[in-house]
Amino acid sequence: MNRSYEIRAIPPRTLDELRTRDDAGAPPRRMVDEEGDNPLRCCLERSKPGETLALVSYAPLRRWAQETGADPGAYDEVGPVFIHPDDCGGWAGAGDGRYPETMRGERRVLRAYSAEGRILGGLLLDQEREGTPPLEVGLARLYDDPRVAAVHVRAVEFGCFQLETRRVAGG
């Protein structure tokens, strides 16, 4: 378990804001998820068939920058994420240091950012390709660079933001 970073779901205060107006300025779109298995960024779980979800636009780097004083400039972007439309209690695994199994996938992109909000690099993880490291090893490699302050995990096919990791103090 690498203690140089922590895994983070979308924070409760931000979720409260997104449930009213998202980062694109629109109200959330409520929908019934007929099939289930969509990644939920509020609790880092998967939706269940028939569950009501909210689809919102989320700007993860912008939100991080507001909190830390970084300036992402042109790297700021907004994309769709699913959340529960009401408070679900958040991620049950917060603080245990383990990557949530429900957010794993065959193909992920890790994008590393400096404390100033600039992209420092990235890593493609494709479990179908020989030599691809496990996700935790990829994260550890990126955090080996002391300039890395945060790493975003994204799905390859749609580029969707999955979750954020942040360097912990002393890490």
* Per-domain boundaries in the chain: 5-92+103-167
pLDDT of residue 171: 62
CA–CA dist 71, 87 (Å, integer): 30
* Each residue's pLDDT tens digit, 4-45: 899 999 999 999 999 999 999 999 999 999 999 999 999 999
What mean pLDDT comes out for the span 79-101? Answer: 91
Give the global pTM. 0.92
Locate all alpha helices (DSSP H) within the chain, ordered by sequence.
12-18, 60-68, 135-143
pLDDT of residue 96: 83
CA–CA dist 71, 118 (Å, integer): 8
- Confidence band for 2, pLDDT divided at 50, 70 and 90: very low
